[in-house]
């Protein structure tokens, strides 16, 4: 049995939806309300280098690592968060000092790091990222991430941090 909505029901539903979207943000529940913190990846500190230098890019570039850093709970962007990036690339291994670099987030909590093409290590093309509060001076807990690429041919990878206060 097919259920058909009347024209009046469809118009009333559309009007209610439009009213909800037009409401000032202060009256709507925040989409990020209750945003859970990103769990740190077990073993994610593999080849991590405490205090890696802030750099414009790692090596010759050609691959782009991007992401965001937000505060748990309200999802507010975190400016000047220090994110370290490292990977096994066409120019070096994860353990090589020149395969590491750090960058800071912008006012929107976004970061980007150009680096050499990531290549598979242990069968998977992946990157490593860390937010380390010991080198950022912020009151958030350290988080390590290890995002895996869908394909070794991908030219970019993104990772998102939601940080919890310590």
Tens digits of residue pLDDT in 11-51? 444 444 444 444 444 433 444 469 999 999 988 888 999 98
Kindly indicate the confidence band of residue 105, based on its pLDDT and cuts at 50, 70 and 90.
very high
Tens digits of residue pLDDT in 53-98? 999 999 999 999 999 999 999 999 999 999 999 999 999 999 999 9
Q: Which residue has the higher pLDDT, 8 or 39?
A: 39
φ, ψ of residue 11 in degrees (nearest 5): -65, -40
Considering the entire predicted model, what is its pTM? 0.78
CA 129 to chain centre: 9
Residue 146 to residue 127: CA distance in whole angstroms:
6
pLDDT of residue 1 exceeding 60, the answer is no
Question: What pLDDT was estimated at residue 111?
Answer: 98
104 contacts 80 by C-beta, under 8 angstroms: yes
pLDDT of residue 152 exceeding 50, the answer is yes
Residue 143 to residue 39: CA distance in whole angstroms:
7
Question: What pLDDT was estimated at residue 21?
Answer: 42
Of 144, 138, 146, nearest to 165 (Cα)? 138
Cα distances (angstroms) measured from residue 68 to each of 125, 128, 155: 21, 15, 18
Q: What tokens appear for 4 in the block?
A: 């058909």
């Amino acid at each position: 049995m097919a259920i058909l909505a009347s024209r009046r029901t469809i118009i009333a539903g559309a009007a209610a939806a439009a009213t909800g979207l037009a409401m000032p943000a202060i009256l709507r529940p925040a989409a990020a309300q209750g945003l859970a913190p990103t769990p740190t990846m077990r073993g994610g500190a593999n080849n991590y280098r405490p205090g890696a230098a802030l750099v414009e890019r790692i090596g010759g570039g050609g691959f782009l690592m991007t992401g965001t850093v937000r505060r748990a709970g309200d999802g507010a962007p975190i400016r000047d968060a220090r994110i370290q990036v490292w990977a096994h690339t066409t120019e070096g291994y994860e353990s090589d000092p020149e395969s590491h670099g750090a960058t800071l987030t912008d006012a929107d909590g976004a970061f980007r790091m150009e680096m050499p093409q990531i290549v598979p290590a242990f069968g998977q093309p992946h990157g490593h990222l860390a937010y380390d509060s010991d080198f950022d001076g912020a009151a958030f807990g350290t988080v390590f991430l290890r995002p895996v690429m869908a394909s070794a041919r991908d030219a970019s990878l993104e990772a998102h941090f939601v940080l919890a206060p310590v």
